[in-house]
Homo-oligomer: A and B are copies of this chain.
Amino acid sequence: MKEYNVAVLGATGAVGQQMMKVLEERNFPVKRLLPLASARSAGKQLAFRGEALSIEEATEASFAGMDIVLGAVSNEMAKHFAPAIQDSGAVFIDNSSAFRLREDVPLVVPEINPEDAFQHHGIVANPNCSTIITMVALGGIRRLTAIDKMVACTYQAVSGAGQQGITELQDQLRAVTLGEPVQPHVFPCQIVSNVIPQIGSECDNGYTTEEMKMQNEGRKIMHLPELRVCCTCVRVPVMRSHSIAVQLVTRDPISVEDARQAVAAAPGCVLTDDLDGRNYPTPLDTSDQDLVYVGRIRRDLISGDHGLALWCCGDQVRKGAATNAVQIAELLARGQA
């Protein structure tokens, strides 16, 4: 079996570290793993397959001889390093939003549009975390009928802001318990005992950048250029799993029972749908896993037999970021969808 030289760009962040764990867990055929980060972290050690690897400073020269670069850095850094990665001949699987909507860059959720990955020109984009989780949840239904419209409200974990988001929630939990003052640094205001209806910055239309991703990326992933999504993204004091409440309208009528069966049969998806038995996904129950859990499937009371409502949860760091990127690498290594 062919083995690959894999660089993780941004290896010290929450997503970068998770990428290394997932490569190891899934036995991705790694020949050499190269953890890259800023100069500040260079020389520090990271464990991979029981070995201590030294972090190297990311520079334009870092990518020579690499086959795959998994990116877990900011849009700015992704844009900065993309030309050097492309010049090196490696494929850049990028978790930033810098390239997601570019026409020559596939945007891939392997359970939904794996064939797109092979159309790349050196860059494959990893979608937004809430979008990935929602797409996987809707993957089974989409095989039965196109989705025309969605109203999506998110309950997003602090891990979406990286390790510093997790640390901020932990610090504030302690401060509130001990009666100490809470100082927000990462989030716009206190996140413990609060929810914040802003993720990302404002677009011209009054939505946030994060909210527009659900429509823009959803269109590209599902090949539904007319899909319309009204999204509200809300940060909640949860560590790792995002939850999304979705009301959706399908092109053809669909029964609740057919939707349930489709969800249960969809790849990467688990049906957890028994309200009376208190069996539905929650962030805590779905953390530290790669699967997306779906429950509360019911007839939307507005749209007749074209409408459904559902609730889904998935780990933001794993399936919402690191695992999806490694799955894209697996797809490319396998060479077929």
Give A residues with C-beta under 8 Å from B.
149, 151, 153, 155, 169, 173-174, 176-178, 188-190, 192-198, 201-202, 205-208, 215, 228-230, 232, 234, 236-239, 243, 245, 247, 256, 275-276, 278, 280-285, 295-302, 307, 309, 311
Going nearest first, the 8 A-B pairs with the smallest beta carbon separation are A206-B298, A153-B153, A177-B177, A232-B245, A151-B151, A202-B275, A194-B284, A153-B245
Interface-central residue, A151, A189, A256, A302, by most chain B CB under 10 Å: A151
Residues of B close to A302: CB separation below 8 A = 149, 151, 228-230
Q: Which residue of B lies closest to A233 (CB)?
A: B245
Q: Is the beta-carbon distance between B155 and A195 smaller than 8 angstroms? A: yes
Once A206-B296, A295-B197 are accepted as A-B contacts, the answer to whether A282 and B189 lie under 8 Å apart by CB is: yes
Q: Is the beta-carbon distance between A197 and B280 smaller than 8 angstroms? A: yes
Once A177-B173, A234-B245, A275-B206 are accepted as A-B contacts, the answer to whether A198 and B298 lie under 8 Å apart by CB is: no
Interface-central residue, A153, A178, A206, A309, by most chain B CB under 10 Å: A153
Residues of B close to A208: CB separation below 8 A = 275
Q: How close is A264's CB to chain B, nearest CB, in angstroms?
A: 16
Q: Is the beta-carbon distance between A197 and B278 smaller than 8 angstroms? A: no
Once A151-B151, A195-B238, A301-B215 are accepted as A-B contacts, the answer to whether A311 and B232 lie under 8 Å apart by CB is: yes
Residues of B close to A201: CB separation below 8 A = 276
Among B192, B236, B295, B307, the residue within 8 A (CB) of A195 is: B236
Among B174, B256, B296, the residue within 8 A (CB) of A232 is: B296
Once A173-B173, A195-B236, A299-B206 are accepted as A-B contacts, the answer to whether A309 and B230 lie under 8 Å apart by CB is: yes
Q: Is the beta-carbon distance between A202 and B276 smaller than 8 angstroms? A: yes
C-alpha gap A229/B284 in the complex (Å) = 29
